[in-house]
Every structure is written in C-alpha cells, then in structure tokens.
A and B are shown apart, each in its own frame.
Chain A
C-alpha cells in the first residue's frame, strides 16, 4: 500500500515568508509525528498528533511554528516569518497507534531552504 507522502519535496523561500508543508499519513494510522532534520544531525521531534489533537507539541522551537490535523488524517506544518535557521528537512511519520511500541513509518521529507 501507499506509504507516508509529503509535499512539496523541495521548498525554497525567502526570509520572512510563510510556508506550509503537507503530510499524508498511511491510511488508518491514528498517530502522526513531525520531525526536523538539520544537516549532519538526526531527526528532532517537533509535534505529535493523536487523531485531530496535538497531544505533544513540546518540540516546536517557537511560536512561529504551528501544525494542524483537522480531520485526523492529513497534517500541515506551518512556519511563519521564516528564518535562515529554519532550513532543514522536515520529516513526517505515522503509526497505527500511539505509544512506544508502535513502529513509525517515515515519509520522504520536505527540504526547506530559506534564503
């Protein structure tokens, strides 16, 4: 079946602009995660959704970052007033259920470049 998909695959924007990154999880997966991977680093947790609600947003770096999942499926990560330091690969993952024992399946990522 289809895996996790993310669009766009690449996004180039200018400092100060607003961007939206989209994630389509595997059908039926209730848990959805966003991670950010900077060059030379491992992925860092940003936010987790269980259904429609953001159950843990402790990884969001500041209030310029926001994410939604209005119908419990597709999620959008929104970044306001982008800064050069936001340049990274943004990864989305989904799992059938929440919790530590459930395998997370990762999408291909969106590479964001802020000029």
Chain B
C-alpha cells in the first residue's frame, strides 16, 4: 500500500533550536518527494522537493531535507528555527512515472516555536 508516515504529530521548540521532522514512505517504484508547509491562516505551499540527483535538497527559508533511499525516509531539517516557522508541515510522495502526479500525504506535524 502507498503511504506516508510522519513520526511527530506535535513539536514544540524554542527559537534557535534545531529541527528535524521525520518522514517515511511506502511506495512501489521510483518516487518524487515533497515537503509542504501551511502557515496559520494560509494555504499549503511547497517548501522543497526531491526528484533525482543530490539527495540533500535545499528549500526556502533555510529548510533542507535528505532522501535516504535505503531507509525510505525524507526527513526535514533546519539548523535554527524562528518563531515565524510555526506552522503545520506535510510530507508527500508521488510516483516518478505517474501520469497523474497525485500526491499521497502524511498526517502532518504541527510545529510550535516559542519566542
């Protein structure tokens, strides 16, 4: 079955702390991987994506993620979080050869950064 699992449902950090959000997927075939973010009151927007090549990808606002194929993981990291990073984060996957591109999402992680 195709699925995405995010290990942390709710994370609370202080400003300047380091962040790592876990994401594991189950999908037959070659995948594309995504992290989306939803800031309070805003719509989902793409944070970063991995299609191929360097497994360490950098996104907006200092976020990065590492694809580890052997572990079926795509964890999101940021060395030093800011209060403005408070948001909900979703990991998602689709098939590289997919004609549709439909995304399978994890259940999301709510990040709360205390000032």
Residues of A within 8 A of B (CB): 3-4, 31, 33, 35, 40-45, 48, 50, 55-56, 59, 91, 93, 95, 98-104, 106-109
Contacts and interface: CB of A to CB of B under 8 A. Distances in A.
B80 interface: no
Interface residues of B, number: 28
B102 A103 contact: no
Contacts, number: 74
By secondary structure, the B interface counts as loop
Contacts of A31: 100-101
Given A42-B90, A101-B32, A109 B103 contact: no
A104 B101 contact: yes
B101 A99 contact: yes
Interface of A is mostly: loop
Interface of B: 4, 6, 32, 36, 42-46, 49, 51, 90, 92, 94-108
